[in-house]
Amino acid sequence: MYSVRGLAMQVTQHVHTIRLPFTIQQAPAVTIERFVNIFLITGRSLTLIDTGVAGSERQIFEYIRTIGRDPSEIARILLSHSHPDHIGAARIIRETTGCCVAAHASEREWIENVNIQCRERPVPGFHTLVGGSVPLSHTIDDGEILLLDDKHELDLIALHTPGHSAGSVSFLLRSEGILFTGDAVPVPGAIPVYDDILASVESIKRLAHTDGIRIMLSSWDEPWEGILAYQRMREALTYLQEVHTAVIRAGCSLPSDPMDLCRRTAAALGIPPQAATPLLARTFTGHLRFCDRPKLIIDEDDPFSSGT
């Protein structure tokens, strides 16, 4: 049973979802309304998984107070990856609370020097979304167990799930069967964003082989419980195959510039024209390396048998 307060929701005894809306200024007269889910784990101290964009700390702190806790209890921020909507408020939260900040080593440069990220992966309004660089206290390794309290009652297993970015990490809260996937599992029909399509496929398949998932919590999706979580991963893989097929048809036989490919592929997928941006073009052009591989998912075993 979920308990809801505005845009926040208590999922289990220790896990809360906070939905943070934000706006991307695509052009002077064009804005895109988005949101991102971040997660609060309440034990003897507080743990945040991601932080939303700059300014999100106000909503986060307000929610923490409504559940009878204090923002000063935040002991750590675990960043699923380095993109603006996940790290934007990390600097001010760290400065306010003194908490530690951790992420995968592959994300370190873009978190500790956001100007490099802005240059290498420009996003409209980047510096309005990101409150500044923040040093990592710790880098997260694949398979690492992160202890969230001194009684060992709450711990997370870190799962390196690259694809959306090189250092994307998912977390499994074993005591409650909660899987936090960040952006590793794309939402079918939504704007696809990833750097490496094959790595994305393999990461989803890895998560699908993870036993004991009771609830899957993602940055851009609703909670999915039990077998529905595994089915959602199947749908995500099917969607990635649809994207791949659309790119092959739009660009593998016709020489074109990235934005032309982006517009034609987006139209084939039913993605609105205003979403045809250089960032989306980056996603689609990554498929061109695999024009000779029309089927992305080649697995004799059913990767979803773990959940059934």
Q: Is 96 inside any structural domain?
A: yes
Which residue has better confidence, 131 or 274? 131
Residue 233: helix, strand or coil by DSSP?
A: helix
Which pLDDT belongs to residue 151?
65
**In contact, 247 and 261? CB cutoff 8 Å:** yes
Q: What is the pLDDT of residues 125-181, one digit of tens each?
A: 899 999 999 999 999 999 999 999 876 678 999 999 999 999 999 999 999 999 999
Where residue 81 sits, what CATH number does that domain have?
A: 3.60.15.10
Which pLDDT belongs to residue 98?
97
What is the mean pLDDT of the segment spanning 289-299? 84
Q: Is 308 inside any structural domain?
A: no
What is the mean pLDDT of the segment spanning 24-52? 86
Q: DSSP for 85-117?
A: HHHTTHHHHHHHH--EEEEEGGGHHHHH-HHHH
Which pLDDT belongs to residue 308?
39
**Amino acid of residue 126:** F
Count of residues in the chain: 308
Residue 178: helix, strand or coil by DSSP?
A: strand
Confidence of residue 275 (pLDDT cuts 50, 70, 90): confident
Q: Looking at the predicted structure, is the pLDDT value of residue 7 above 90? A: no
Residue with tokens 């059934």: 308
Q: What is the pLDDT of residues 91-116, one digit of tens each?
A: 999 999 999 999 999 999 999 999 99
Burial of 40 (0-12, 13-18, 19+ CB in 10 A): buried
Q: Is 30 inside any structural domain?
A: yes
Which pLDDT belongs to residue 300?
45
Q: Distance of CA 53 to CAs 22, 34, 187, Å?
A: 7, 11, 20
Which pLDDT belongs to residue 30?
63
Q: Is 306 inside any structural domain?
A: no
What is the mean pLDDT of the segment spanning 185-193? 94
Q: Is 265 inside any structural domain?
A: yes
* Stated pTM of the model: 0.92
d(CA 82, CA 166): 10
Q: Total structural domains in the chain?
A: 1
Q: Is 196 inside any structural domain?
A: yes
Report the percentage of the chain scoring pLDDT > 90. Answer: 80
What values do phi and psi take at 214, rounded to 5?
-90, -40
Q: Is 305 inside any structural domain?
A: no
Where is 139: in which H helix or E strand?
strand 138-140
Q: What is the pLDDT of residues 194-225, one digit of tens each?
A: 999 999 999 999 999 999 999 999 999 999 99
The C-alpha angle with vertex 43 and arms to 14 and 95, in degrees rounded to 5, equals: 110
What values do phi and psi take at 180, rounded to 5?
-100, 115
Give the domain extent around 137.
3-298
Q: Is 14 inside any structural domain?
A: yes
What is the mean pLDDT of the segment spanning 50-66? 96
Confidence of residue 252 (pLDDT cuts 50, 70, 90): confident
- Cα of first residue to Cα of last residue in the chain, in angstroms, is 22
Q: Distance of CA 242 to CAs 196, 236, 270, Å?
A: 16, 10, 11
Which pLDDT belongs to residue 75?
97
d(CA 32, CA 236): 23
Residue with tokens 């500044």: 132
Confidence of residue 297 (pLDDT cuts 50, 70, 90): confident
State the chain's mean pLDDT as an integer. 91
Q: Looking at the predicted structure, is the pLDDT value of residue 32 above 80? A: no
**Amino acid of residue 241:** Q
